[in-house]
Each structure stands twice: as C-alpha cells, then as structure tokens.
Amino acid sequence: KAGVTQTPRYLIKTRGQQVTLSCSPISGHRSVSWYQQTPGQGLQFLFEYFSETQRNKGNFPGRFSGRQFSNSRSEMNVSTLELGDSALYLCASSGQTGGQKTQYFGPGTRLLVL
C-alpha cells in the first residue's frame, strides 16, 4: 500500500497570504489528522477528520481550517499568514477509531512565511 502523501513538500509565502495544503491518506483509511511542528512548540494537534466530518479540534485560531472529501483526501487552509505559522505541517491517517487507532504520517509540508 502506498503511504500517506502530502503536497506540496515545500512552500514559501509572504505574510497576509493564504495557503492550502493537501493530504492523501493510506488507501482505506478514513481518519485524517493534521499537526503543526515547530522547534519551540513541538507537535501540536490541529484537527481530525473522519468521514468528511471534523471530529476533534486543537487550540488554534480560526485562520486554520480544514476539510475532508468523500475519497478521504484532506486539505488544510491557513488564511492571513503570520510569520509564526512557519512550520512543518504533518498529516496522519488511521484505519481505526478510538484509542487503538494507529496514526501513520506523511513526509510533511514545510511552510516558510516571509
């Protein structure tokens, strides 16, 4: 099975712009989670989608949004970019639900905001 894929791998944007990142989960996986990783804050949970519905949300401002399509592919959008949004954005998919779900990660999208 192909792994989790994320596009693009690298992005450079300027403050005030918006950005859309894409994630294709492992075939058959219906849960997709997004994380932001920075050197200072570590791994922070953004949100989780399951069957096109947002199931959980982390503590991020409304500028961060996401959606999931019927084929389980997911996108996340960040509007009005700030310098502090520079980070590695990781997507993870899972085939299970509940506590025993095992998340499999993509390579990430590295976003640089200038």
Site for another protein in 54-83 (CB under 8 A): 56
Residue 28 contacts another protein per CB under 8 A: no
Residue 43 contacts another protein per CB under 8 A: yes
DSSP conformation letters of 14-70: -TT--EEEEEEPPTT--EEEEEEEETTTEEEEEEEEETTEEEEE-S--TTEEEEE-T
Using the contact rule CB under 8 A, the part of the chain among 11-19, 59-67, 68-76, 95-103 near another protein is: 95-103
Q: How far apart are CA 11 and CA 20, in angstroms?
A: 10
Binding stretches for another protein (CB under 8 A): 4, 6, 42-43, 45, 48, 56, 90, 92, 97-108, 110
